[in-house]
C-alpha cells in the first residue's frame, strides 16, 4: 500500500512543472509575467498570466498580480501544469533530404528551421511528423514522442541527424551516443577573431538560472554536466571567424554556450548574443553589410557537417559529410568578397 501511495505522488508531481527563481542583484524592474515567461522553456505569456491569476506563481510566498515589478532578491516560485505527455502524433507529407538509408538506419540532412520532434505547443511540422509519413514502424524505445531518434539538433541548426529503423538499431546507436563514441563535427561562424588556431573548451553545462531555455557554463564541477568541445580555425575574416567544432560530449546547446563562454558567440545566434554586431570603425558600410547577412541567414550559423558511427548491422565504421546549406555558403561568399574589397 505504501508503495502504491508513493507511485501516485510521483505520477501527480509529473503533471506539473516546479520552478524557483531568485532575482539577482542587478535585476532591473520587470513585470512578473514577463520575468517568468523568459525563464521557462515553452511557457507562453498567456499560460503564465493564468497561473498568476489562480495563485500558482508566488513572489516571496505571496500571491501577486501580473504587473508586479520584480526586484533584486525576490524569490519567485512557480507550479504550472505540464502539457499532455502523449498527444497523437500526425504523419505529415513534409519533404526531407535522405543522405543514406538501409534496413537499419536513416541519415537525414535536416534543414534549418525544422524542429526535430514534437513538444509543448509544437506538435506538427517536425521532422518526426515527416518521418512517420515516409517510414512505417519506427521504434519508440522509451519515448513515444521521438520514434527512431537517438539524438537531436536545434531547430535552427542544419545538418546530419541519425534515425534508427529498428529497436535493435536504436539501442545500439543510443549506446554509442551515451558513451560519446560518435564522431560529430560542426561548422560554425563566430563573432570576433579567435586568438588560437585550435583549442579545447571545458566547462560543465546546465540550465542558465536567468533563462531556463538556455544553457550556461559553470566552473563548479558539482553543477551541470561535463562538456568538452574541440575547435579549430578554418578561415579568418577579422571581425568574425569560421571554425570547426568537434564534440567530445553532446549536451544541449553545447557549441552555442561554449563559444559564447569563450567570448565568441555564434553569428546571428539571437539567444546567445549573436545578433549584437561587433563594433568596427574601420570598415565601410559595415553595419549595413552585417544586417544584410542577417537577412540571408536569420539563424545561428551552425551546421552539423559530419557524423561517424558504428553501423548497428555490419558493425563497420561509417562516416558521412554534407555541404553547407545555401544560406550559410552565401554569407561566407559575401564575407570573402567584402574583406577582399576592404583589403585591396
Instruction: Kindly list the averaged pLDDT for each block of 10 residues, start to end, along the chain of length 344.
Output: 31 53 87 88 78 82 90 86 62 96 97 86 85 86 70 94 91 86 97 97 91 88 92 97 96 96 97 92 88 97 98 96 98 95 74
- The dotted CATH code for 183-343 is 3.30.2350.10
What's the predicted TM-score (pTM) here? 0.75
237: left (phi over 0), alpha (psi -120 to 50) or beta: alpha
Q: What is the pLDDT of residue 261?
A: 97
Pairing of strands 158-164, 302-310: parallel
Asked, colleague to colleague, whether 2-81 and 183-343 share their fold, the answer is no
Largest CA distance in the chain: 81
- Domain residue limits, the chain: 2-81, 97-178, 183-343
The residues facing 190 across adjacent strands are 241, 266
Q: Which fold has domain 97-178?
A: Pseudouridine synthase (3.30.2350)
Q: Which of 14, 61, 74, 154 is catalytic?
A: 154
Q: What is the pLDDT of residue 140?
A: 65
CB atoms within 10 A of CB 17: 19
Pairing of strands 16-22, 105-110: unpaired
- The dotted CATH code for 2-81 is 3.10.290.10
Judge whether 154 counts as a catalytic residue: yes
State phi, psi for 261 to the nearest 5 degrees. Answer: -60, -35
Amino acid at each position: 500500500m505504501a508503495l502504491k501511495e508513493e507511485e501516485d505522488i510521483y505520477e501527480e508531481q509529473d503533471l506539473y512543472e516546479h520552478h524557483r527563481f531568485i532575482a539577482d542583484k542587478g535585476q532591473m524592474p520587470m513585470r512578473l509575467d514577463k520575468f517568468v515567461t523568459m525563464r521557462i522553456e515553452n511557457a507562453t505569456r498567456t499560460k503564465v498570466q493564468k497561473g498568476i491569476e489562480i495563485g500558482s506563481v508566488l513572489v516571496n510566498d505571496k500571491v501577486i498580480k501580473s504587473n508586479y515589478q520584480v526586484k533584486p532578491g525576490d524569490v519567485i516560485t512557480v507550479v504550472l501544469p505540464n502539457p499532455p505527455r502523449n498527444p497523437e502524433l500526425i504523419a505529415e507529407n513534409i519533404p526531407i533530404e535522405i543522405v543514406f538509408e538501409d534496413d537499419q538506419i536513416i541519415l537525414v540532412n535536416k534543414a534549418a528551421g525544422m524542429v526535430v520532434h514534437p513538444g509543448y505547443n509544437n506538435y506538427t511540422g517536425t521532422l518526426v511528423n515527416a518521418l512517420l509519413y515516409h517510414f512505417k514502424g519506427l521504434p519508440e524505445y522509451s519515448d513515444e514522442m521521438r520514434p527512431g531518434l537517438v539524438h537531436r539538433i536545434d531547430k535552427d541548426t542544419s545538418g546530419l541527424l541519425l534515425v534508427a529503423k529498428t529497436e535493435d538499431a536504436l539501442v545500439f546507436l543510443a549506446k554509442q551516443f551515451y558513451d560519446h563514441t560518435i564522431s560529430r563535427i560542426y561548422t560554425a561562424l563566430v563573432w570576433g577573431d579567435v586568438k588560437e588556431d585550435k583549442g579545447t573548451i571545458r566547462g560543465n553545462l546546465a540550465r542558465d538560472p536567468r533563462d531556463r531555455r538556455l544553457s550556461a557554463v559553470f566552473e563548479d564541477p558539482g553543477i551541470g554536466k561535463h562538456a568538452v568541445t574541440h575547435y579549430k580555425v578554418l578561415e579568418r575574416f577579422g571581425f568574425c571567424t569560421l571554425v570547426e567544432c568537434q564534440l567530445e560530449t553532446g549536451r544541449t546547446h553545447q557549441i552555442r554556450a561554449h563559444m559564447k563562454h569563450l567570448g565568441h558567440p555564434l553569428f546571428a545566434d539571437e539567444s546567445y548574443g549573436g545578433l549584437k554586431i561587433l563594433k568596427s570603425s574601420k570598415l565601410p558600410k559595415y553595419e549595413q553589410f552585417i544586417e544584410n547577412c542577417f537577412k540571408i541567414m536569420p539563424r545561428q550559423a551552425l551546421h552539423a557537417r559530419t557524423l561517424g558511427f558504428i553501423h548497428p548491422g555490419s558493425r563497420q565504421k561509417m562516416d558521412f559529410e554534407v555541404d553547407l546549406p545555401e544560406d550559410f555558403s552565401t554569407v561566407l561568399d559575401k564575407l570573402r568578397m567584402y574583406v577582399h574589397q576592404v583589403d585591396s
